Amino acid sequence: MAKPKALMRVGGISSMARSLRLLEDKELSAEMRTASKAAAEKIVPYAKAAVPVRTGALRASIKADATRRYGRIVAGTPTKVDYARFVHRGHYLGSGGKGRKYPGVKYLSKTIPKAFPQIIDEYVKSMNRIAKAFEKKHGVSRVYGRYK
């Protein structure tokens, strides 16, 4: 299957997200957020499979979130699973001059390249569809100016 050609002009998704915000277009903004979250949700199973497990709380806390511009994977909670960042990036425990460094596992960073081939085609199609709808609805491909 041939890869879909990107319709985005210079600036791409960020430019379109900014234009939607300037025009206060809630409908297309919601579509963009939905497309970004759908892409992020495809990464979650890979991340849950790669995370180290002791109690399962960290694995259960992994979920997808999104903005207009990008999807993101959220792991941990501020109160119950506050150690998610330390497991991912590593940490240092110092004690009386004899510290110990614990290397990170990078369970989120390593899973994105694995899921990327499944995500990219559908994401590009979604963003192209939104870009065409934006041009049809507003008559331009990009809006310049300041926020109100």
Domains of the chain by residue range: 12-138
- What's residue 102's pLDDT? 85
| Position with higher pLDDT, 3 vs 81 | 81
Read off the pLDDT of residues 61-116 as tens digits, 9 standing for 90 and up.
Answer: 999 999 988 899 999 988 889 989 889 898 887 776 677 888 888 988 889 899 98
The answer to whether the Cα torsion of 10, 17, 111, 45 is positive or negative is negative
pLDDT band at 19, cuts 50/70/90? confident
Write down the H helix ranges in the chain.
12-23, 26-41, 44-50, 57-61, 84-89, 111-138
Cα–Cα nearest to 31, from 48, 13, 47: 13
Please enumerate in sequence order all residues whose Cβ is within 8 A of that of 110, keeping only pairs 6 or more positions apart, or say none: 50
pLDDT band at 22, cuts 50/70/90? confident
| Position with higher pLDDT, 6 vs 111 | 111
- What's residue 57's pLDDT? 94
Task: Give, as one character, the DSSP assignment of residue 6.
Answer: P
Report the distance separating Cα 120 and Cα 3, nearest Å: 9
pLDDT band at 4, cuts 50/70/90? low
- What's residue 10's pLDDT? 42
Please enumerate in sequence order all residues whose Cβ is within 8 A of that of 142, keeping only pairs 6 or more positions apart, or say none: 9, 11, 15, 16, 19
Report the distance separating Cα 148 and Cα 132, nearest Å: 25
